[in-house]
Amino acid sequence: MSLNSSVCRFGQLKCRVIDALPEGVRPSCLVVLNHGFGAPGDDLVDFGPMLIEADAAIAGSCRFVFPTAPIDLGPMGLPGGRAWWPINMARLAQIHATQDFEQLTGVEPPGMSEAGDLLTAAIREMQREWGLTDAQLVLGGFSQGAMVSTHVMLSAPFTPALLVLFSGTLLWREHWSRLATSHSGTAVLQSHGKQDQILPFAAALQLRDFLIETGCAVEFLEFNGPHTIPMHILQRLQERIEQCIRIGRE
């Protein structure tokens, strides 16, 4: 199988694009996965080839796009690291220690809306270029990438075939609640480690419950482990993408 890999710019975001489609063939499913805080822009890129090589339906239908977050963390002592918006890691550690999640859920992180606007514009450009609808979109990410994906889904508004939240958390509850009423029925795949030392497991449960209360169809996968994406979670993502492809063909 021959893989195609290129670097493109959509809106203001640099993106890695990967598929196995013959030249000139448009995808019927767009998978956009966003990396977390402090990771390089290509942090999740290996997932594309892994999923393409594991499944013929994905290989024949999907185009994977991995956007690079807009903020360069090099000047802040993290060479190669990127962020969707700044995070005070000391404050996050305090929240983890005190379990005072109101500091997470009660306020808008400065810069989140701006990052959401950039990601929204990029995805809309991808959809226009390849002639794809929201029903042909799988949107998600890891950690901060999961958070910006949730915000984009609610505020754009997108209604993707699947929202994928690896190790995310609930933010800005009051605002998200006002937006969520128009997303009843949205399919969500959410995972989180019970020993996560970055984003507490209890906060992930709050996100799960929030999404269920607003009418989303949430599949929640917990695992014994830290702030990561285990292989069995990726295998479940593969199965869920397959389902999206089948539904899109019906």
Return the domain boundaries, the chain. Answer: 4-249
Q: Write phi, then psi, for 62 (nearest 5 degrees).
A: -100, 145
Distance from C-alpha of 78 to C-alpha of 31, rounded to nearest angstrom: 28
- CATH fold, domain 4-249, is Rossmann fold (3.40.50)
pLDDT level of residue 88 (50, 70, 90 thresholds): low
Percentage, residues of the chain above pLDDT 90? 72
The neighbour count for residue 162, using CB atoms within 10 Å, is 22
Q: Is pLDDT at 137 greater than 90 in this prediction?
A: yes
Sort residue 176 into left (φ over 0), alpha (ψ -120 to 50) or beta: alpha
Among 4-18, 19-33, 170-184, 192-206, the range scoring the smallest mean pLDDT is 170-184
pLDDT at 246: 87
What are 108-124's pLDDT values in tens digits? 788 999 999 999 999 99
Contact 73, 27 (CB under 8 A): no
Among 46-50, 93-97, 135-139, 175-179, the range scoring the smallest mean pLDDT is 93-97
Q: Write phi, then psi, for 63 (nearest 5 degrees).
A: -120, 125
The neighbour count for residue 101, using CB atoms within 10 Å, is 17
Distances (CA, A) of 202 to 25, 103, 194, 195: 44, 14, 9, 10
Q: Is pLDDT at 96 greater than 60 in this prediction?
A: no
